[in-house]
Amino acid sequence: TRIEKAGYKHFMMKEIAEQPTVVGDVLEAYLDKNGGVAMDLPGVDFTTIRRISIVACGTAYYAGLVAKHWFENYARLPVDIDVASEFRYREPPIPEVTLAIYVSQSGETADTLAALRYCAGKVDKIVSLVNVPESSIARESDIALPIHAGVEVSVASTKAFTCMLTTFAVMVLKAASERGHLTEDELAVKIADLHKLPGLMSHAISIEGELDKAARKVALAHDVLFLGRGQMFPLALEGALKLKEISYLHAEGYASGELKHGPIALVDRDTPTVVLAPHDGLFDKTVSNMQEVMARGGRVLLISDARAIATAGGGVWRTITMPDAPEMIQPILYAVPAQLLAYHAAIAKGTDVDQPRNLAKSVTVE
């Protein structure tokens, strides 16, 4: 079947808009009607696994970085993560009882496939998260979990990212409860939180007009900084990657606490700083990072919830108010404004959104 733009100007916008539906499909596939986890991982025993090794490239790698945070935080399982091109040539030693997880939209990325082949026979099980179930990576894994995003046409990945994250979220909850780090009641709350995603993502898509306005300003810059902390740090990386890929603006994602170790030297009036920071236990620290930027004449675009925006204090250049969301699902939800900001910056610059220069959807050569 031919995939059409369904009234949208670009596949990218169509795919952004599809996220509430496809994320709902992931939940339907991996959760059961009685509020439990229904993800089948034959032969995977989270109580005996000592380590997880995640390998991927590009946006899939950033999904893995969020998953590392979740596995360590909720399931108390240590995670090593690497980009495939580094992993495969470093030939790392693999400790006993390691579960390997390969993440790939296409399932054909050459470096990711080569890294998987290196692991075969050395790890206990290879699980892959893939969007193309008949792909090489899916075929060569012990267990292939489809991410249910549907065909993704736009070179810049959007819905595959949030579907990878949602699939990972269910796996983390399964691991956490099997390892005794979540009671039945706590698990039920976390699952109920996941079910809030489609509605919250629709809400985030509905504030597109605000992101368009901010993006028109951001598009006038040459350099843009993205900051995030903890589980939002990978979102800063993903926000910067999306902007680079389709608007050709130079953007860098940094962990908020690293600002003073270099990137603050870039800050001036012409270098906007996008802060992705919902209210959490570390929000005060993020506020002081923003103040460091503002004290140097830098302009801050704060993407956060109403409570955090109210406590952030004056001096912020622009704000985008996101709906309140339970902590674990915040990285999934905040992908939406990061995508919309890049999309509208690209429109403002007049670039080819769906087919950006020099990039390929699937990198099947080294």
Give the span between the Cα atoms of 190 and 170, in whole angstroms.
9
The two structure tokens encoding residue 128:
């892959």
Rg (CA), the chain: 20
Within 60-79, which residues bind ligand G6P (CB under 6 A)?
Answer: 60
Query: What ranges in 196-311 are assigned the alpha helix state H?
Result: 197-206, 208-218, 233-247, 283-295, 306-311
> How many CB atoms sit inside 10 A of residue 316's CB?
19
Based on the shown chain and the rule CB under 6 A, indicate whether residue 104 belongs to the binding site for ligand G6P: yes
Q: Report the residue closest to ligand G6P, judged by CB.
A: 58
Partner residues linked to 129 by β-bridges? 103, 145
* Shortest separation between residue 287's beta carbon and ligand G6P, angstroms: 32
Question: Residue 196: which H helix or E strand, with range?
Answer: none
Backbone angles phi, psi at 106, to 5 degrees: -75, -30
Map residues 24-63 to x or -, x wherever contact with ligand G6P holds by CB under 6 A.
---------------------------------xxxx---
* Shortest separation between residue 233's beta carbon and ligand G6P, angstroms: 18
Give the span between the Cα atoms of 234 and 334, in whole angstroms.
11
Based on the shown chain and the rule CB under 6 A, indicate whether residue 19 belongs to the binding site for ligand G6P: no
Based on the shown chain and the rule CB under 6 A, indicate whether residue 361 belongs to the binding site for ligand G6P: yes
> Is 361 marked active-site?
yes
- Comparing CB distances to ligand G6P, the nearer of 53 and 112 is 112
- Comparing CB distances to ligand G6P, the nearer of 108 and 280 is 108
Out of 106, 141, 247, 339, name the contact with ligand G6P by CB under 6 A: 106
Based on the shown chain and the rule CB under 6 A, indicate whether residue 113 belongs to the binding site for ligand G6P: no
Based on the shown chain and the rule CB under 6 A, indicate whether residue 128 belongs to the binding site for ligand G6P: no
Closest CA to 129 of 154, 160, 84, 175: 160
Contact by Cβ (8 Å): 152, 158:
yes
Q: Residue 1, class by beta-carbon neighbours within 10 Å (0-12 exposed, 13-18 middle, 19+ buried)?
A: exposed
Based on the shown chain and the rule CB under 6 A, indicate whether residue 105 belongs to the binding site for ligand G6P: yes
Within 155-174, which residues bind ligand G6P (CB under 6 A)?
Answer: 155, 157
Based on the shown chain and the rule CB under 6 A, indicate whether residue 362 belongs to the binding site for ligand G6P: yes
Catalytic residue among 5, 196, 217, 361: 361
* Shortest separation between residue 361's beta carbon and ligand G6P, angstroms: 6
Instruction: Give the catalytic positions in this structure.
Output: 361
Q: Which positions touch ligand G6P (CB under 6 A)?
A: 57-60, 104-106, 109, 112, 155, 157, 359, 361-363
